[in-house]
Amino acid sequence: MAKVGAAVWIFILCALAACTNNPYPDADSGRSVLYRTMRKSPPKTLDPAVAYSVADHLVTGTVYDTLIDYDYLARPYRLIPGLVEAIPEEVEHGDGTWSLSFRLRPDLVYDTDECFELSRSGARSRPILASDIAFELMRLADPSVGSPVGAVFARIVGYAEFTKRLQALRDGDPAFEARRIDEQYREAGGVDGIRVRSDRDLEIVLSQSFPQLLYWFAMEFTTPVPWEAVVYYDGEDGRDVFSEHAVATGPFRLTRYEKRSRISLEPNSNWYGIRHPEWHAPGATYPTRGSQEDRSSGLLDPRYVGRPLPFLDGVELVFENEQIPGFNKFLQGYYDYSAIIEETFDQVVSEGGLTPGMEAMGVGLSKTPQAAVYYVGFNMDDPVVGRSGGDRSRLLRQAMSHAIDSEEFIRLFFSDRGIAAESPLPPSIFGSEEGEGNPFRRVDLDRARTLLAEAGYSRGIDPATGRPLKLSFTTGDTSARARLRYQFFVDSWRRIGIDVEIKSTNYNQFQDVLRRGAYQTFFFGWGADYPDPENFLFLLWGDLAKSKSGGANSANFDNPEYDALFLEMRNLPNGPERLAIIGRMLEILRVERPWIEIFTPEEYVLSHGWVRNLKSFGMSVPMLQYLDVDAPARTERRMAWNQPLEWPAWVLAALVVAAVIPGIVTFLRERQ
């Protein structure tokens, strides 16, 4: 009888202990493991030559280190050395070429992995070599890899020729394609402008100056990749494919990769920042300087300043199919930080700050301008709104610019999560502060009507028809929500007498319309590949006009003075000379009005009080190595917010006892 009773009570206690919704192991409660959600879609690939989405970079940017890094706190953005000892300077040669020379830090090694058996029996790691960077750059030129950024590196001497030779060898000899990939590259002769000078030294030779190439060495596309990993992880004999198996060079390594459920990371003990904290290397040490705002936000806490990275014991990235359940888990303390979903925005944010309920929970709000800009563009090839209309069209564009209230647009459709734009340069980009503002981005309907009259459209009437001037507004989103946003612009222009018709298409059709030039005005946006003014101002460079070259200049703006200044500006380092040129370029754009700049979006991130050092970066560059969590404080708050609901277990226990006791009684009677 005693044994049976004990079994019943053990069951009851187990049932009570199970009354918690904590989705993580109890063993993790005392560890500084960061928990965050992945939303929308899981990573498509972990191949650094191909990975391009935000979800991809969340993982690849954490497990792969780069030759050059970003200063975590600096705004405008600032480059610092990563795997290399110093950031190289572009050197001009007398033969019309330029070069960059990279020198790797000593004693860099890969994470342990069985793929290294291919190069040496029993090996589980090896040094990171300059030849591994050359190998990855050749992968970018390999048409079979299909890198989305391959064309960026076409300025490297011999890059395009290597692509052609490699493809010709494959087309001419099927056996060649079956050879090991590093052997194929070697047989194809390599790339003339990618020169391995030693195990630690790499020289890149360019056919033209391209200072912005340094930013591409701060992306995973150019990370060192061992040929052994690409060859070994082919999906054969139960092995992973390389696109789902990362051999880490960065501060974290993958320990679990179930991309549709959970991805687990832990510190990579082979990373140079962990192996050599005595170096105090910039890319492996918490910053020692920042802005006054950083200081007041606790981002220069003496407990972290100057300390070696990383601080976390691990990272758990959990995939959530639905936004609301994921956000609810954040409110329960099971995710450490989170974006704000539309359905809960008003309950979380009020007048630009947190609601009292959020503040009472100890939640913090980080707001960071993204390196992006959204704008209304004019087709400068169009006879009504474009360059052929001369002063008349310019005055029309200026009038339409005066009619748009960007701050009202941001308030209505983005819950104030944005900054009204006055130029193509977002606030975090060098040169954005140049000038005294854009007078044509001030809402002034009287001035707009005056400009219209000067253009020959008094009260908005087209003298050719005697009716309001009729224009078209082409958009790439057919959703009802987007339609409301576009209607805002149409209504704004109607207030000054212009009749604008919305022509909504899907994104692919929109791109086709732009290619064909069959539009007058349009709505578009651009997010930076890298945080340099060149990466925004090139969008209005005449050589890249959509109608001329199929380039990114969808407004087809073509101004000789602007183009000459652009070519002068793009190769200069940040400094007074470059700033002055940018100022003149922005002044041309203010007057000519090929764009009506609307806004730069702001990233709003919520974090619990136990999260340390969180600063939104504004670009798709994960910085998890800088974060830390106070695990005891988190455990305490979780327990307070998630008290077990015990009465169902007690009811269950009573039902079990009621069901079991008659059997016990019967059993005892039979024994007697």
d(CA 641, CA 168): 64
CATH classification at residue 585: 3.10.105.10
Alpha-carbon distances of 670 from 1, 244, 663, rounded to whole Å? 13, 62, 11
Residues 379 and 524 in one domain: yes
556 in the same domain as 425: yes
Enumerate residues 6+ apart whose C-beta is below 8 A from 428: 75, 76, 77, 368, 369, 371, 531, 618
Please report whether residue 338 resides in a domain: no
Structure-derived torsion over alpha carbons of residues 385, 389, 390, 393, reported in degrees to the nearest 10: -30
Q: Which amino acid appears at position 544 of this protein?
A: L
Same domain, 659 and 569: no
Residue 622 included in any domain: no
Q: Of the candidates 579, 603, 627, which is a domain's last residue?
A: 603
- φ, ψ for residue 545, nearest 5 deg: -55, 135
Q: How would DSSP label each residue in 371-427? A: SEEEEEEE-TTSTTTSGGGHHHHHHHHHHHHHT--HHHHHHHHHTT-EEE-SSSS-T
Residues 535 and 655 in one domain: no
pLDDT at 17: 44
pTM above 0.75, yes or no: yes
**Is residue 525 in some structural domain?**
yes
Running along the chain, 672 residues long, what does each successive block of 10 average in pLDDT?
A: 43 44 76 89 93 93 98 94 97 95 98 97 97 98 94 96 97 94 97 98 96 96 98 96 97 95 97 97 97 94 98 95 88 92 85 89 91 97 96 98 97 92 93 82 97 96 95 93 95 97 91 91 93 96 92 96 96 92 96 98 94 92 96 93 65 52 56 54
Look at residues 185, 218, 246 and tell me which one is the last residue of a structural domain.
246
Q: For residues 533 and 545, what is the distance between their CA atoms, to the nearest angstrom?
A: 18
Domain-located, residue 617 = no
Domain assignment present for residue 259? The answer is no
Cα–Cα nearest to 416, from 350, 511, 479: 350
AA letter at 398: Q
Co-location of 69 and 175 in the same domain: yes
Same domain, 377 and 497: yes
Q: Which of 255, 241, 270 is nearest to 65 (CA)?
A: 270
Task: Please say which residue of 205, 220, 246 terminates a domain.
Answer: 246
Q: Do both 653 and 582 map to the same domain?
A: no
* CA dist., res. 305 & res. 142, Å (int): 42
**Is 190 within 8 Å of 178 (Cβ atoms)?**
no
Distance CA 473, CA 500 (A): 6
Res 4: pLDDT: 43
Residue 270 is assigned to a structural domain of this protein: no
Whether 251 and 151 have beta carbons less than 8 Å apart is answered as no
DSSP for 88-155 reads: ---EE-TTS-EEEEEEBPSS-BPPP-GGGGGTSTT-S--B--HHHHHHHHHHHH-TTT--TTGGGGGG
- Rounded (5°) CA angle 586-590-594: 100
Tell me the C-alpha distance between 487 and 481, whole Å.
10
What are the angstrom distances between the C-alpha of 4 and each of 8, 11, 361, 620, 659? 6, 11, 46, 60, 13
Q: Kindly give the pairing relationship between strand 314-319 and strand 521-527.
A: unpaired
* Domain total of the chain: 3
- CB of 190 within 8 A of CB of 134? yes
| Interacting residues of 535 by C-beta distance below 8 A, sequence separation 6+ | 212, 215, 528, 529
Q: Does residue 346 form part of some domain?
A: no
Q: Are residues 10 and 125 in the same domain?
A: no
Instruction: Say whether the peptide bond before residue 310 is cis (omega within 30 degrees of 0).
Output: yes
Q: Tokens 């980009």 map to which residue?
A: 429
Please give the helix or strand (H or E) that residue 569 lies within, else none. helix 560-569
| 248: its two tokens | 């880490």
Cβ–Cβ under 8 Å, residues 84 and 275: no
Beta pairing partners, 467 = 462
Tokens 């790439």 correspond to 476
- Same structural domain for residues 7 and 138? no
pLDDT digits (tens, 9 = 90+) for 568-605: 999 898 899 999 999 999 999 999 999 999 999 998 99
Q: With respect to residue 625, please indicate whether it lies within any of the assigned structural domains.
A: no
Tell me the C-alpha distance between 304 and 317, whole Å: 24
Q: Are residues 516 and 463 in the same domain?
A: yes
Residue 405's nearest CA partner among 341, 474, 496, 540 is 496
Are 208 and 100 in the same domain?
Answer: yes
3-state secondary structure (DSSP) of residue 255: strand
CATH number for the domain that contains residue 157: 3.90.76.10
What CA dihedral angle connects 245, 248, 251 and 255, to 10 degrees? Answer: 40
State the Cα torsion 661-662-665-668 to the nearest 10°: -100
DSSP symbol at 306: T
Cα 634 to Cα 298, 355, 360, 614, 638, distances in angstroms: 18, 21, 15, 16, 6
Comparing CA positions, the residue from 589, 549, 597, 548 lying closest to residue 566 is 589
pLDDT at residue 15, as a whole number: 42
Q: Helix, strand, or coil here: 48?
A: coil
* DSSP secondary structure string for all residues of 484-534: HHHHHHHHHHHTTT-EEEEEE--HHHHHHHHHHT--SEEEEEEE-SSSSTH
Same domain, 524 and 667: no
Q: How far apart are CA 418 and CA 411, in angstroms?
A: 8
Domain that holds residue 377: 372-603
Residue 13 CA, distance from chain mean position: 48
CA dist., res. 504 & res. 506, Å (int)? 7
Give the C-alpha separation, 182 to 179, whole Å.
8
